[in-house]
């Protein structure tokens, strides 16, 4: 028998028919949703986005992503990586091939352009013929991609193929941030979090255009970063955490992985070594760092203010120099945070002496100092930033000390504890969290204006907003997400959106729309009764 000879001609018509049917099937599959969509919900309005875009001009026909859509990127290899990131998200949920191509018209286009977009801004133009994101930098394109995600139905966040239609409302979004610094802090000292857990949080931060990840790498309970010249910091000082767990630390390779991943999401890592207080993990690792030469035991409780580096000893500055040198070498970002809070066991003159000696070390290794706002009680170095973590009811004298430093050139990052400390309980019933700054429900966390928060501070001194997450009560990603969501989204909006776009009533409706996205992303958020979440 020569089956091939006879079969081919007979099979061909079948093949053709199957192909035809498939094509018709595709058309039918794609046409049905369109018919549905015509009678059903319009696409998501261009302004239903968090952070609220600077300006939105709706109008024209929506763009629809189909099986034939291409992602076109003209520009650098880095811009192509942003295109690949977008295509990766869209392929999973649409099931479409969405090939990445170069020049050409139509489809989803990402382009770099010398226009007036700022370092992180972008423009999104949507119409029947395509969607174009334009920015001066890949970071701008990346932020535009986050906007694009939120303009597609929440099913776009699923990991498997979903039904469309995948439409983006017609019109233009022009957007750029209010502040250059939009941070989130994760305390990896009180509880240790793995590289995978940190990466997961980075992806969540990127959704809201956060561009700084501040890692609180050392505290009384744990030292979390390998330092070659002082190896016991990590191996001994890192082997505990609150509650007595095993803790852990990042090897230099781990840390570089975090930095690289953050960079791929356009976040800068800001490492913090908290000094001279909050240093029990270091003091317990090396007896010679203590004024009395006796190493204290490791600490796994949650008290603060009992430890201090030994300000008069020379070895203290050898230690600081080594640590800062090695950490600076691992850090491509501009900043190095030296803590400086709650130094209740350091005398004031010692505190000032310590800061006078340590800030120049940071500069020598090419970094800019950030310190908690107690630094303004010493002599902040030229160019240093102070991170304000007071409350509405912080005393006038302390606020004025910060404001005065700001008038003298110290930049401010605002983290008012009774608004954006993500570790505060929402209500008395919250399953984890602290209460020292008060209960912070979603509205309270959002309802303040960073530009007008501290009296007597010039506009130009406010460099941004950061939402810290201290982790005395936080043990895993589910805990992180419960406290960070939804409040983190509000902090991100305060950092990005112009003052005139802020407002609780509009915000809460936009926030409600994030709920189904978070469900699809597996983010386990707190369903605050203050927000009109759609039913699940």
DSSP 353-412: HHHHHHHHHHHHTT-EEEEEGGGGGS-PPTT-EEEE---TTS-HHHHHHHHHHHHTT-EE
Task: Decide: is 418 part of the binding site for ligand TNX (CB under 6 A).
Answer: no
Q: Are 425 and 444 in contact (CB under 8 A)?
A: no
Task: Decide: is 341 part of the binding site for ligand TNX (CB under 6 A).
Answer: yes
Cis amide bond preceding 22, omega within 30: no
Q: Are 260 and 332 in contact (CB under 8 A)?
A: no
State the minimum distance, in angstroms, from the CB of residue 341 to ligand TNX: 3
Which of residues 304, 432, 439, 512 is near ligand TNX by CB under 6 A? 304
Task: Decide: is 423 part of the binding site for ligand TNX (CB under 6 A).
Answer: yes
Binding mask 193-212 for ligand TNX (x = CB under 6 A): --------------------
State the minimum distance, in angstroms, from the CB of residue 343 to ligand TNX: 10
Of 57, 61, 59, 85, which Cα lies nearest the Cα of 71? 85
Which of residues 201, 299, 335, 470 is near ligand TNX by CB under 6 A? 470
**Please, which residue, 220 or 481, has the CB nearer to ligand TNX?**
220
**Can you tell me whether residue 437 is helix, strand or coil?**
coil
For the segment 397-416, give every residue that binds ligand TNX (CB under 6 A).
none
Of 109, 106, 111, which Cα lies nearest the Cα of 134? 111
Q: Which residues contact residue 364 at a Cβ distance below 8 angstroms, ignoring those fewer than 6 apart?
A: none
Rounded CA gap, 202 and 263, in Å?
A: 10
**Please, which residue, 318 or 342, has the CB nearer to ligand TNX?**
342
**Please, which residue, 470 or 526, has the CB nearer to ligand TNX?**
470
Which of residues 30, 78, 321, 342 is near ligand TNX by CB under 6 A? 342
For the segment 18-47, give every residue that binds ligand TNX (CB under 6 A).
none
Q: Are 334 and 365 in contact (CB under 8 A)?
A: no
Task: Decide: is 439 part of the binding site for ligand TNX (CB under 6 A).
Answer: no
Rounded CA gap, 486 and 507, in Å?
A: 11
Number of residues that bind ligand TNX (CB under 6 A): 10
State the minimum distance, in angstroms, from the CB of residue 445 to ligand TNX: 14
Tokens 């049917």, residue located: 21
State the minimum distance, in angstroms, from the CB of residue 278 to ligand TNX: 6
Rounded CA gap, 133 and 126, in Å?
A: 9
**Please, which residue, 193 or 421, has the CB nearer to ligand TNX?**
421
**Please, which residue, 209 or 399, has the CB nearer to ligand TNX?**
399
SS3 of 48-74: CCCCCCCEEEECCCCEEECCCCCEEEE
Beta strand 63-65 pairing with 166-168:
antiparallel
State the minimum distance, in angstroms, from the CB of residue 436 to ligand TNX: 6
State the minimum distance, in angstroms, from the CB of residue 434 to ligand TNX: 5
Task: Decide: is 389 part of the binding site for ligand TNX (CB under 6 A).
Answer: yes
Of 399, 403, 407, 327, which Cα lies nearest the Cα of 369? 327
Q: Please provide the distance, in angstroms rounded to a whole number, between the alpha carbons at the two ends of the chain.
A: 62
**Please, which residue, 47 or 441, has the CB nearer to ligand TNX?**
441
Which of residues 142, 250, 255, 421 is near ligand TNX by CB under 6 A? 421
Binding mask 160-199 for ligand TNX (x = CB under 6 A): ----------------------------------------
Helix axes 77-94, 138-151, angle to 10 degrees: 10
Task: Decide: is 255 part of the binding site for ligand TNX (CB under 6 A).
Answer: no
Q: Which residues contact residue 82 at a Cβ distance below 8 angstroms, ignoring those fewer than 6 apart?
A: 73, 110, 138, 141, 142, 145
Q: Show which residues are catalytic.
A: 342
**Please, which residue, 277 or 515, has the CB nearer to ligand TNX?**
277
State the minimum distance, in angstroms, from the CB of residue 404 to ligand TNX: 20
Rounded CA gap, 295 and 170, in Å?
A: 65
Task: Decide: is 426 part of the binding site for ligand TNX (CB under 6 A).
Answer: no
Cis amide bond preceding 51, omega within 30: yes
State the minimum distance, in angstroms, from the CB of residue 304 to ligand TNX: 5
**Please, which residue, 403 or 469, has the CB nearer to ligand TNX?**
469
Which residues bind to ligand TNX, rule: CB under 6 A? Answer: 304, 341-342, 372, 389, 421, 423, 434, 470, 472
């Amino acid at each position: 028998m020569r089956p091939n000879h006879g079969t081919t001609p007979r099979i061909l018509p079948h093949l053709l028919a199957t192909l035809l049917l498939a094509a018709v099937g595709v058309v039918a599959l794609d046409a049905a949703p369109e018919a549905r969509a015509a009678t059903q919900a319009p696409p998501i309005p261009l302004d239903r986005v968090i952070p609220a875009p600077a300006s939105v001009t709706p109008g024209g026909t929506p763009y629809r992503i189909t099986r034939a859509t291409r992602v076109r990127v003209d520009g650098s290899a880095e811009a192509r990586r942003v295109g690949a990131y977008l295509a990766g998200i869209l392929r999973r949920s649409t099931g479409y091939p969405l090939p990445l191509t170069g020049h050409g018209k139509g489809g989803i286009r990402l382009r770099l352009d010398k226009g007036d977009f700022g370092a992180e801004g972008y423009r999104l133009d949507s119409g029947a013929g395509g969607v174009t994101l334009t920015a001066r930098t890949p970071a701008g394109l990346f932020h535009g991609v986050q906007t694009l995600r939120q303009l597609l139905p929440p099913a776009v966040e699923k990991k498997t193929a979903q039904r469309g239609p995948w439409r983006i409302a017609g019109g233009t979004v022009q957007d750029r941030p209010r502040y250059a610094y939009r941070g989130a802090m994760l305390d990896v000292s009180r509880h240790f979090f793995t590289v995978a857990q940190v990466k997961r949080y980075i992806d969540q931060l990127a959704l809201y255009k956060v561009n700084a990840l501040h890692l609180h790498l050392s505290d009384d309970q744990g030292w979390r970063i390998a330092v070659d010249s002082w190896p016991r910091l990590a191996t001994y000082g890192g082997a505990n955490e609150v509650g007595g767990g095993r803790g852990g630390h990042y090897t230099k390779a781990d840390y570089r992985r975090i930095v690289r991943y953050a960079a791929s999401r356009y976040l800068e890592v800001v490492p913090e070594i908290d000094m001279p207080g909050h240093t029990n993990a270091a003091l317990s690792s090396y007896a010679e760092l203590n004024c009395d030469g006796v190493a204290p035991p490791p600490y796994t409780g949650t008290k603060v203010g009992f430890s201090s580096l030994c300000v008069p000893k020379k070895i203290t500055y050898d230690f600081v120099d080594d640590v800062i040198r090695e950490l600076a070498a691992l850090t491509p970002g501009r900043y190095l945070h030296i803590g400086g809070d709650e130094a209740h066991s350091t005398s004031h003159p010692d505190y000032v002496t310590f800061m006078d000696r340590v800030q120049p070390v940071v500069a020598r290794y090419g970094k800019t100092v950030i310190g908690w706002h107690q630094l303004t009680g010493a002599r902040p170095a030229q160019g240093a930033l102070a991170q304000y973590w007071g409350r509405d009811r912080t005393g006038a004298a302390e606020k004025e000390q910060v404001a005065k430093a700001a008038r003298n050139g110290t930049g401010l990052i605002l983290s008012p504890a009774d608004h954006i400390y993500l570790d505060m309980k929402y209500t008395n019933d919250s399953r984890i969290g602290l209460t020292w700054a008060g209960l912070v429900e979603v509205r309270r966390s959002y309802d303040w204006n960073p530009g007008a928060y501290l009296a007597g501070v010039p506009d130009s001194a406010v460099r941004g907003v950061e939402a810290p997450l201290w982790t005395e009560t936080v043990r895993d990603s589910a805990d992180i997400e419960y406290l960070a969501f939804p409040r983190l989204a509000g902090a991100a909006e305060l950092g990005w959106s112009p003052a005139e776009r802020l407002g609780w009533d509009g915000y809460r409706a936009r926030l409600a729309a994030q709920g189904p996205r978070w469900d699809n992303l597996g983010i386990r958020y707190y369903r605050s009764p203050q927000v009109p979440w759609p039913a699940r």
